[in-house]
Structure 1
Amino acid sequence: MNSRDKILQQIKLNMPSETVLPEKIRFDSHFESTENKFVETLSAIYTEVIVVKDLNALKEKAEELYASVTNRATTIPFLNSWADFSLNIADPHDLEMIEIAILEAEFGVAENGAVWISERHLPHRALPFITQNLAFVIPRNAIVNNMHDAYERLSDTTGWGCFIAGPSKTADIEQSLVIGAHGARSMVIFLIEDYPGIL
């Protein structure tokens, strides 16, 4: 018997018995106010949070914040008259000129400030990463405590989705924090009270 066979034989003899995984593994986080924690976390990662009552208030705020900005895009039909950049394109490279994109997100996560987006409301996967500035609209009551709660909300009805938390950030160059080097330079979250959209 050569060394290889001896090693393989020892492996076979020393196979541990299977261990059944627990049905549910989670670490609970409960905050007095998930919204306050969400806002606090987002503030720490350079993201502004704005509460608006409804779509009309959202449009007014968008017009106010981005009055001087051109190449505005959105996935929210109510804001189509505000947008001047059509997302009806075949090549995602054409999105590189977008200065601000206002997109729908399905929910937010209080503990880390992330929002979940999926291809259900996103015509191009590159859009949230190629725009210069990024804004998300989520229902005000759609904030969960932590990532355990977040994953329980997810379903397999979409082929793609991701969590995004704040604008692009990197600190690997001389340990200096740089915002916007690899993606959006700024982020705004609109928490909308009366929203007939995603939920």
Structure 2
Amino acid sequence: MSSRETILAAIKGNQPPQEVLPDIEGFRNTIPGDPAAFRKVVESLGGEVIDIAQYADIKAHYKDAPGLVVAVNPDFYPGAATEWQTGDGRQLEQVDLAIVPGQLGVAENGAVWVTEKELVVRVLPFIAQHLAIVLSASNIVPTMHDAYDHIGGPKTGFGVFIAGPSKTADIEQSLVLGAHGAKSLTIFLLP
């Protein structure tokens, strides 16, 4: 036997016994997510939730948006930049506001699931100065267990849960929002 085979045989011979995985069915919910609970958590994380009836309400909220605005869906913000989808992400370094669609919201932690399908360029929500996510209230689930059930297996190469603006704190209990990513997060909630 070679040293490699000896090592692998030793590892295989010292495996712990197989255990049955615990039943987690008690964590699953069959009720829809609560938009009020979702709003409360998002706001406690430093984000903002704004109810809108149509996409046009987004532009009305940002009537004096400074700088470069990028919207994944042109209906979110008519007049937003259009030449941003090609490149390695550096073309987005001057983006002041990015508006992206969200697939799924989680009431228990205020997180929103987005994938590269929605983002087009993976770095977009992390490089923009301010981030806005458009989400349907009917796509809010109660818990992360429900979110993972909904998401299922990998369907895209990249996906991320975003919860609130970026933040960091030091040992002196100083919290800084927007330290290494978006300085603000606004979620536009459609009925």
TM-score, normalised by the number of residues in structure 2: 0.84
Structure 1 stretches of 5 or more lacking a match? 1-7, 194-199
Q: Identify the residue that residue 39 of structure 2 maps to in structure 1.
A: 39
Distance in 2 separating the partners of 1:123 and 1:32: 29
- Are positions 1:48 and 2:45 aligned together? no
Q: Quick check: 1:100 aligned with 2:97?
A: yes
| Higher Rg of the two aligned structures | 1
- Residue 75 of structure 2 corresponds to residue 67 of structure 1: no
The answer as to whether partners of 2:58 and 2:76 remain within 8 angstroms in 1 is no
Residue 79 of structure 1: CA displacement? 3.1
Give the RMSD, CA atoms, in angstroms. 2.7
SS at match of 1:138: strand
| Correspondence list, 1:2-17, <5 A | 12=13, 16-17=16-17
Q: For the residues of structure 1 that align with 2:84 and 2:100, how far apart are their CA atoms? A: 12
CA drift of 1:123 comes to 1.4
- The Cα offsets for residues 115-168 of structure 1, whole Å up to 9 and x where unpaired, read as 000011111111000000000001111100010000001132111101000000
**Cα distance, 1:21–1:136 mapped onto 2, change above 3 Å:** same
Corresponding residue number in structure 2 for 1:169: 167
Task: Name the residue aligned to 1:5.
Answer: none
Query: Partners in 2 of 1:27 and 1:178 — Cα distance?
Result: 33
What pairs up with 1:103-182 in 2 under 5 angstroms?
103-155=100-152, 156-172=154-170, 174-182=172-180
TM superposition shift of 1:53 = 1.2
Partner of residue 189, structure 2: 191
Instruction: Name the CA distance, whole Å, in 2 between partners of 1:191 and 1:118.
Output: 18
Query: What whole-Å deviation, never above 9, does each CA across 1:52-97 have from its counterpart, x for those lacking one?
Result: 1122xxx233233242412000101313523135323313112110
Counterpart amino acid of residue 172 in structure 2: E
Q: 2:33–2:141: 8 Å Cα contact kept in structure 1?
A: no
Q: Given residue 97 of structure 1, which amino acid in structure 2 is its aligned partner?
A: Q
Conserved in 2, the CA contact under 8 Å of 1:74 and 1:102? yes
User: Who is 1:89 aligned against?
Assistant: 86
TM-score by length of 1: 0.80
Q: How far apart, in 2, do the equivalents of 1:32 and 1:143 lie?
A: 7
Bigger mean CA offset, 34-43 vs 68-77: 68-77
In structure 2, distance between residues paired with 1:105 and 1:167: 15
% identical aligned pairs: 40
Query: Structure 2 CA distance, aligned partners of 1:98 and 1:15?
Result: 51
Please list every run of 5 or more consecutive structure 2 residues that lacks an aligned counterpart in the other structure.
Answer: 1-8
Deviates more, 1:90-99 or 1:61-70: 61-70
How many pairs were matched up? Answer: 182
